[in-house]
Chain A
Amino acid sequence: MALLELHNLKKYYATQKAVDDISFSIEKGSIFGLLGPNGAGKTTLLRMITGIFFPDEGKIMFDGREFDPINDIVNIGYMPEERGLYKKMKIGDQALYLAQLKGLSKSDAMARIKEWFLKFEMQTWWNKKVEDLSKGMSQKLQFVTTVLHEPKLIILDEPFSGLDPVNANMIKDEIYRLAQKGATIIFSTHRMEQVEEICDHIVLVNKGKKILDGSVQKVRHDFKENLFKVQFSNKIMPEHLAIHLFHVIKPGERELIIRRDPEYSNNDILQYFINKGLAVESFNEILPSLNDIFIKLVEGTPSTRQFQAVTA
């Protein structure tokens, strides 16, 4: 069942169609990747999902009902890309304040903060001020304050920027754990290797439009280019290489990267190598990385969006 459904969302600014007719749905308990180059409209989209902006057109369904920004806000935890904390406020007070704004009672908020602080080894921070924290430390605090009220939908915009690998893993593990407990997570980033690792499902937006939607595996299969990596235990001679079955992309002594001619099957190629007396050690298809797909899809469009007159 879908926790969040977007139907034909539109948001136009004076000089840009920030979000231009985007629809997709997000399954409950899934980790969803919202990808796109800078200025693609991700932040605007997220701001509409969090109720900060109202869409010009379109409908948002949340948990089966129409999204109600005032009451559903407590079911959402949003960690925006442009995030910060009150510099002069004590860490504990700050967490308490943000939790209370999400509708938790003071005692409830207190108990949960203590629990999280313990988990993230932040107990000694309570009376420190934010200005004493390093960037990574405040990032952890921001994550805690985002998920503290156990929202159904957690939106993380570039959650790992500025985190060292140890802390990034710590947060990654928490993301998995939260998803297992039933929370739905929207994960917005440019870091494709993280998306590949974490997300079940992705949507790619560019210039305000959705250009890709599917599970990570499916997307990678859809974009595969019949590339294979073949390893041999004996040396490859030039006369071994045929012309019609495949193209050699990258030659080597005992390893080849080839592109299969779509008219032939994998078995045809294996047969060919065996007939040539080569001992095949491994034969693997190379699926394109999301990074490659991203670059391929976005390439050719200007790296920063140009302003345009909006007529609609």
Chain B
Amino acid sequence: MNKISLVIQREYLTRVKKKSFLITTILVPLIIIGFYAAIIAISVSDSTDTSKIAVLDDGDLLNGKIEKSKGDNIAYSFITNETEESFKAKYKKDGYNYFLYIPKIDINQPTGISLHSESSVNITTKSKVERSINTAIERKRMEAANIKPDQYKAINADVSIANPLDSGKNSVTKVATIVAFACGILIYMILMIYGTMVMRGVMEEKISRIAEVIISSVKPFQLMLGKIIGIGLVGITQFGIWIILIVGLQFLLPLIFPSMAHSATELAQAAPQAQTANGFTQALEGIGSLPIGLIIFCFLFYFVGGYLMYASLFAAIGSVISEDQQEAQQLVFPVMMPIIFAFVIMTKAVTNPSSGLAIFGSIFPLTSPIVMMARICFDVPAWQLIVSMLLLVVTFIFFVWLTAKIYRTGILLYGKKVTWREMIKWLGRRS
């Protein structure tokens, strides 16, 4: 036991102390956040400047005042004694960015309103102006129909349709899809990144010829398990740092760029379909209704189980590779395949979580860590969860035991290409 902990310590510390670990661990979230910030910054960059718009209201639509929505930073100035043709030539010279012309219109068929500009008006500004005009037209129509604003409010319907489940729980479709997808991808990444890291670690030991030296002090199984656990801890550390950094930066970002956060919500509101904003807030509310505890528990469970299972497979592959990188690719493919397959099932399971394929994928142990994580937000029947977990535990114990046999022989074998048949033969060998 003491020896395993020594191996774990070495595997962990040598990796965590490496410069490349620090760089990737810190840079990756910075790049993600930076990318995210850049997208927002670019898309809202125009709207942070105040646009000055000259308004020529020939149709008396606005009655000299414009109703601005929240966060609207457009400065409107009404001009008189001009025509569309005459002012079109000089609004730039007079210091306006745009020129809004409202002809005499029929409020039932309001056409011909135009916003003159030199180059295309950006979408944010355009939608702000449109919103103001729409408000004005609505008011005129209400006046014409003799409806008081209060009455209008009373009539106006804003219904969202509920999706009650027969099991009596709340429907969380939209946010569940997002969370499910994120969980599935996360497990997929963990299996791929740290699985191959285990394989490289084993190869390193074999190629640098240290394996036999170590094995004369430690049992091969202890060495393999120590490596797998050590690298698993590296993974947990790395993901922990990433999560802390990403969450931290997300909170920090608005403090550093206050206007940016403001603009982001504005952008969401300004988007042509108002339901996006609606969905967004709905999603935020939806998180509360997700089974957070269950998700975290399952994430940890499938992370540990899936990782141990695949890492032991990767370790076995690493142990039989002598030097040839190409050989590595050839041997590693059969191990990668179920992971990729699971990813594909996962993308299907997210949209249709109770399909036969999704249920199969979430119970079959080679794919269950990824697929079940995607289904977990959608109210999985308890028996499926239990069967899936039991199968995973049994499989990973079986695989660790099985791969230890391959590992034990492979790690001491030099300069020989190992075939699948030989590996299967090793499985039957006594220790």
Contacts and interface: CB of A to CB of B under 8 A. Distances in A.
Interface of A: 14, 47, 50-52, 54, 70, 73, 76, 78-80, 82-89, 97-98, 100-102, 142, 145
Nearest to B9: A97
A89 B214 CA distance: 14
Contacts of B430: 54
A101 B217 contact: yes
9 contacts: A52-B212, A52-B216, A78-B212, A82-B414, A84-B210, A88-B14, A98-B213, A102-B217, A145-B213
B425 interface: yes
B209 A101 contact: no
Contacts, number: 60
A80 B208 contact: no
B116 interface: no
Interface of B: 3, 6-7, 10, 14, 18, 204-205, 208-210, 212-219, 412, 414, 425, 430-431
A145 B204 CA distance: 20
A101 B414 contact: no
A47 B208 CA distance: 19
A73 B217 CA distance: 6
Contact of A83 (B14, B212, B425): B212
Contacts of A47: 412
Contact of B215 (A52, A100, A145): A52
Given A14-B425, A89-B14, A83 B213 contact: yes
A82 B208 contact: no
* Residue with the greatest number of chain A CB neighbours at <10 A, chosen from B14, B216, B431: B216
B214 to A, nearest CB: 7
B414 A50 contact: no
B210 A76 contact: no
Contacts of A102: 217
Contacts of B212: 52, 78, 80, 82-83
Contacts of B218: 101
Nearest to A54: B431
Contacts of B431: 54
A136 B430 CA distance: 38
A98 B217 contact: yes
A84 B209 contact: yes
Given A87-B208, A101-B3, A80 B213 contact: yes
A209 to B, nearest CB: 23
A54 B431 CA distance: 7
A84 to B, nearest CB: 3
B208 A84 contact: yes
Contacts of B213: 78-80, 83-85, 98, 142, 145
Q: Closest 8 interchain pairs by CB?
A: A84-B209, A78-B216, A101-B217, A84-B208, A80-B212, A84-B210, A82-B209, A50-B216
Contacts of A86: 14, 204-205, 208, 210
B72 to A, nearest CB: 59
A202 B216 CA distance: 23
Nearest to A100: B6
Contacts of A52: 212, 215-216, 412
B202 to A, nearest CB: 13
Nearest to B408: A52
B170 to A, nearest CB: 52
Nearest to A97: B10
Contacts of B205: 86
A79 B212 CA distance: 9
A87 B14 CA distance: 11
Nearest to A70: B219
Contacts of A88: 14, 18
B12 to A, nearest CB: 12
A290 to B, nearest CB: 27
B412 A83 contact: no
* Residue with the greatest number of chain A CB neighbours at <10 A, chosen from B10, B213, B412, B425: B213
Nearest to B430: A54
